[in-house]
Amino acid sequence: MDEEQKKDDDILKRINPVDRAAILLLSLGEVDAASILRHLSPKEVHLVGASMAEMDQVEQREVSAVVRQFLREASLVTGLGVGSDGYIRNMLVSALGEDKANGLIDRILMGGNTAGLDTLKWMEARSVADLIRNEHPQIQAIVIAYLDPDHAADVLTFFDENVRLEVMMRVGGLDTVQPAALQELNDILERQFSGAASSQKQAMGGHKVAAEIMNNLDTTTEQSLMENIMSQDEDMGTKIQDLMFVFENLVELDDRAIQAILKEVATDQLLTAMKGASIDLKEKIFANMSSRAAELLKDDLEAKGPVRVSDVEIAQRDILGAARRLEESGEIVISASGEQML
């Protein structure tokens, strides 16, 4: 490793991956930035855009380090996930100013396919819940199965417990969706969105999708919903549970996987998540850091005061999200239960 890369690595340790992406986009022209953003999911635009909006002054050496890292890793593809058009519009105006943002907004929000179900991904969770609240549970299940897991989990929180149960049971039982069902859903959305229904069956839902949604619920809701699913259909509940990947499963990963995950996680995020970790998992994480970094983290953990359970759960879910993205990109391989695969 050359001296320049060592300096860059020292700088990048203080900048989390989302902020790095924001710095890179802000350093590009609006045409190039728009071209990149168009390939991100709604939540990815939300996260990166929010970071752009919060940035005040960025040192030149930080910009240089981020750009050089991007050039070194240009062959890699990374990801992040939900926001409404209104939020993104306001955020980009705040970040870039109204004149520059208007052209960028048009390219992002109007340049891609935002018809039908895809449009729901850009809506706030409460709005999606209100839109489908009075629809047939099967329609609700199709929508929930189509959304990103964390977005779907947020939508479910706006339903009563009995509705959540019925919808998740249907999500778990989904396999493919008939064209007529998609047509019915498009008819429901027709007044607000444009787009034609698919003429072929769509793979959607199933135990894995249900497990991913469950992973993104808060602990209390997840435990209650799982108990209800088990009472209704023990076989389905067991299959969903077997596919769930929780924070404590990280202890079962090998050292290389842990080290890869730690590179994607900001120190403050890790510190908060570890407040709710077992002793075994803490030791696993410490063992995969340099001695000095481990000692500093231990000191910070001891000094850190009480943390809200909700904040711990959010930090843990974000770290699990990083683990799943690494798995999707092929950098690490894990089973849903956390068992390392060969």
Q: What is the pLDDT of residues 48-95, one digit of tens each?
A: 877 887 777 778 888 888 887 777 766 444 444 444 455 566 666 666
Q: What is the pTM of this model?
A: 0.45
How much is the average pLDDT of 133-161? 87
pLDDT in tens, 252-268: 888 999 999 999 888 88
Half-sphere exposure in the Cβ direction for 38 (13 Å, CA): 16
| Per-residue pLDDT, 187 | 64
Least confident of 33-42, 224-233, 306-315: 33-42
**What is the rounded average pLDDT for all residues in the chain?**
76
The larger pLDDT score, comparing residue 13 to residue 43, is at 13
d(CA 23, CA 37): 13
Give the least confident one: 89-93, 110-114, 245-249, 307-311: 110-114
How far is it, in rounded angstroms, from Cα 91 to Cα 219? Answer: 31
Q: How confident is the model at residue 281 (pLDDT cuts 50, 70, 90)?
A: very high
The confidence band for 27, taking pLDDT boundaries of 50, 70 and 90, is: confident
Give pLDDT, residue 15. 85
Q: Give the 3-state DSSP-derived string for the chain, with helices as H, strands as E and coil as C.
A: CCHHHHHHHHHHCCCCHHHHHHHHHHHCCHHHHHHHHCCCCHHHHHHHHHHHHHCCCCCHHHHHHHHHHHHHCCCCCCCCCCCCHHHHHHHHHHHHCHHHHHHHHHHHHHHCCCCCHHHHCCCCHHHHHHHHCCCCHHHHHHHHHHCCHHHHHHHHCCCCHHHHHHHHHHHHHCCEECHHHHHHHHHHHCCCCCCCCCCCCEECCCHHHHHHHHHCCCHHHHHHHHHHHHHHCHHHHHHHHHHCCCHHHHHHCCHHHHHHHHHCCCHHHHHHHHCCCCHHHHHHHHHCCCHHHHHHHHHHHHHCCCCCHHHHHHHHHHHHHHHHHHHHCCCCCECCCCCECC
- Report pLDDT for 13: 82
Instruction: Output the pLDDT for position 325.
Output: 82
- Report how far apart, in Å, the C-alpha atoms of 262 and of each of 18, 193, 257, 274, 312 are: 14, 41, 9, 12, 17
Mean pLDDT of 178-190: 64
How many Cα atoms are found within 13 Å in the side-chain-facing hemisphere of 264? 22
Tell me, what's the pLDDT at 205?
67
Say what the pLDDT of residue 336 is: 47
- Per-residue pLDDT, 159: 94
Please tell me the distance from the alpha carbon of residue 178 to that of residue 260, in angstroms, as a whole number: 41
Who wins on pLDDT, 236 or 193? 236
Q: Which range, 206-220, 266-280, 326-340, has the best average confidence (pLDDT)?
A: 266-280
Q: Using 50, 70 and 90 to split pLDDT, how confident is the model at 216?
A: confident
| Whether residue 199 has pLDDT greater than 70 | no
For residue 110, pLDDT over 70 is answered with: no
> Rounded to whole angstroms, what are the CA distances from 78 to 147, 202, 289?
19, 26, 23
Q: What is the mean pLDDT of residues 9-31?
A: 81
Residue 231 pLDDT > 60: yes
Mean pLDDT of 82-109: 55
| pLDDT for residue 178 is more than 90 | no
